[in-house]
Copies of this chain bind each other. A is one copy, B any other.
Amino acid sequence: MADQPQSRRFDPARRFPTDLPATGALMPGDPVGARRFMTVTDGRPFALEGGGRLYEITVAHETWGHLDIDASNAVLICHALTGDSHAAGGIASGHPSVGWWDDLIGPGRAIDTDRYFVVCSNVLGGCQGTTGPSTINPATGRPFGSDFPQVTMRDMVRVQKLLADRLGIERWLSVVGGSMGGMQVLEWGAMYPRKVRSLIPLATAAAAGSTQIAWSAVERLSIVTDPNYNGGDYYDAPDGHGPWQGLMIGREIAQITYRSAEVFERRFGRAHHDPRSEFHPWGRFEIESYLDHHGQKLVRRFDANSYLVVSKAMDLHDIGRGRGGVSAALGRLNVPVLTASISSDTLYPPYQQAELHDEIVAAGGRCRYEIIDSPQGHDGFLLESEQLGPPIRETLERVEKNDV
């Protein structure tokens, strides 16, 4: 009560990074870890769904296990918005985090690398080795930046198909992914029905809905209004600063949508973090410190332009576009599908996966639908491996035996 009036003046240096590279993208000279690189274009331009062309596309990918002689045991893993090819494996030079699905992928695990040849590639437009906005534009010798064209899920999947061709994989035993990964899984089924034997789209949707678009739209606005964004051309900023603040705020927004009020309440409640008084305008509660931590972590490993391109691609996701609508497109999926909801997911609510199931079944298709009972929110697709493992394992085994 005896405090003097406190200035509301906000000190960005107490809150945001000040000493990072302008981008968290994998840049030339960085350690590449387990990634391999494949140029999938052949000199001819790659025409994108929304217009625009790319003249050279390189795909960073990782593999686990061994491909059978008849190439029948290959499983494709598709990553989510800020994921990358490091779906499995430990921390190592070039891989600051454990694989994002390491609990599911490995010897003896649900996606058993003793049995399957598992592939995960960084998406087109990404920033961890596959061609994207931080890649050098051959036309200018500088990173694409704002000149990188908008890509779609279908473009990403076409690039994955070119990679499969080069890896000698005629047909995937399964294509598996959650969230944006699940969007790619669905597009695989719609674009290449003869190239897949099963589909496992988790915590995803047939088409991005209004609220999903709303969140990613405000996340993108946070990025582009950061003065250090500089219209997308920040890679060579004279002061070395990238749009850290904008990307960090965008991630903080997203992080709230990825979890659940139940988890936050239980973990943080109203606990106060800062040494400053609770009443200080910029004193942080624990939940704020948690969000800052996640924001800063993303800034270290991601690229703002990739965030813009890839999240817009998610907004553009609509399995029904040009195919007579969602029902018609889902109705034509002719392989077994396993989908799952996280019960507490408010970003990709269970009704969206129920819709996948219902439309597929209504059209005479095969679909198994699991509801994962979990308080973890959307991130449950990354965290609930104990519950997700068994149905995934069973689906793969039955497809192997043609018993679905």
| Chain A residues with a Cβ under 8 A of chain B | 1-10, 12, 15-16, 47, 49-53, 133, 145-150, 152, 207-211, 213-215, 217-218, 221-222, 224-227, 229, 231-232, 245-246, 249, 252-253, 256, 261, 264-265, 267-270, 277-281, 284-288, 291, 305, 308-309, 312, 315-316, 318, 346, 349
Contacts and interface: CB of A to CB of B under 8 A. Distances in A.
Contacts of A221: 15, 245, 249, 252
Contacts of A349: 261
Contacts of A218: 249, 252-253, 256, 291
A278 B224 CA distance: 19
B287 A210 contact: yes
A7 to B, nearest CB: 5
A189 to B, nearest CB: 20
Contact of A152 (B146, B279, B346): B279
Contacts of A308: 8, 281
Nearest to A12: B225
5 contacts: A1-B51, A8-B305, A10-B229, A50-B279, A150-B281
Given A279-B316, A285-B315, A309-B281, A256 B211 contact: yes
A50 B279 CA distance: 5
Contact of A287 (B3, B52, B213, B265): B213
A210 B51 contact: no
A7 B147 contact: yes
A315 B268 CA distance: 13
A147 B281 CA distance: 11
Contact of A245 (B150, B214, B225, B346): B225
Nearest to A321: B278
A334 B224 CA distance: 52
A1 B8 CA distance: 51
A264 B211 contact: yes
